[in-house]
């Protein structure tokens, strides 16, 4: 399944794809936009790929941007995968959400409020942790003071 590279022209829906590639509340939309934009070797797309490579909190998106940059013949280095905090200060966000809930709240209450208050944090960790996300978040919640 080889990818067709269209040189020196932008897709008709470029502005929409550009917005999706930068949408902090939806890692899947960012990933899909990066993959779609990766078919167009233009300076604008290269700039977006470099930004996703350097700044995206979800490693899968960084990997896609890296691969696309290499396919375009650009020099790129894949950053090391973050071992601890995917989003700087996330633990403080978790504590704030937990403290804003009644003492007898459930994990589901916590997860719902986190998603409502900080979808960017929720989404980044969901994208990074994959199928282990719920168990990981529940463990984080249980260990909050």
pLDDT digit string, tens, across residues 113-145: 999 999 999 999 999 999 999 999 999 999 997
Per-residue pLDDT at 4 exceeds 70: no
- What number is the average pLDDT over the span 5-26? 86
57 and 111, same domain (yes or no)? no
Determine the structural domain holding residue 40 and report its residue range. 6-71
In a domain, 26, yes or no: yes
In a domain, 82, yes or no: no
94 and 54, same domain (yes or no)? no
16 and 65, same domain (yes or no)? yes
63 and 119, same domain (yes or no)? no
Task: Return d(Cα 86, Cα 57) in angstroms, integer.
Answer: 6
Task: Return d(Cα 41, Cα 71) in angstroms, integer.
Answer: 9
In a domain, 85, yes or no: no
Q: Is 73 left (phi over 0), alpha (psi -120 to 50) or beta?
A: left
The distance of Cα 26 from the centroid of its chain, to the nearest Å, equals 7
Number of helices followed by number of strands (H, E) in the chain = 8, 2
Written as six digits, the tokens of 78 are: 């894949």
10 and 66, same domain (yes or no)? yes
142: Cβ contacts below 8 Å, ≥ 6 apart? 107
Per-residue pLDDT at 1 exceeds 70: no
Task: Return d(Cα 118, Cα 59) in angstroms, integer.
Answer: 19
In a domain, 16, yes or no: yes
64 and 106, same domain (yes or no)? no
57 and 20, same domain (yes or no)? yes
What's the number of domains the chain is made of?
A: 2
103 and 134, same domain (yes or no)? yes
Phi, psi of 30 (to 5 degrees): -60, -45
In a domain, 84, yes or no: no
pLDDT digits over 69-114, tens only? 999 999 999 988 877 788 889 999 999 999 999 999 999 999 999 9
């Amino acid at each position: 399944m080889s990818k067709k590279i269209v040189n020196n022209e932008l897709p008709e829906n470029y502005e929409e794809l550009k917005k999706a590639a930068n949408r902090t509340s939806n890692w899947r939309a960012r990933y899909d936009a990066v993959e779609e934009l990766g078919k167009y070797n233009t300076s604008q797309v290269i700039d977006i790929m470099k930004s996703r490579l350097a700044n995206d909190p979800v490693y899968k998106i960084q990997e896609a941007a890296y691969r696309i940059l290499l396919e375009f013949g650009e020099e790129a280095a894949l950053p090391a995968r973050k071992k601890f905090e995917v989003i700087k200060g996330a633990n403080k966000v978790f504590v704030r959400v937990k403290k804003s809930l009644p003492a007898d709240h459930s994990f589901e209450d916590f997860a719902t409020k986190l998603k409502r208050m900080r979808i960017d944090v929720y989404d980044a960790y969901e994208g990074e942790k994959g199928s282990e996300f719920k168990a990981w978040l529940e463990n984080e919640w249980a260990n909050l003071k």
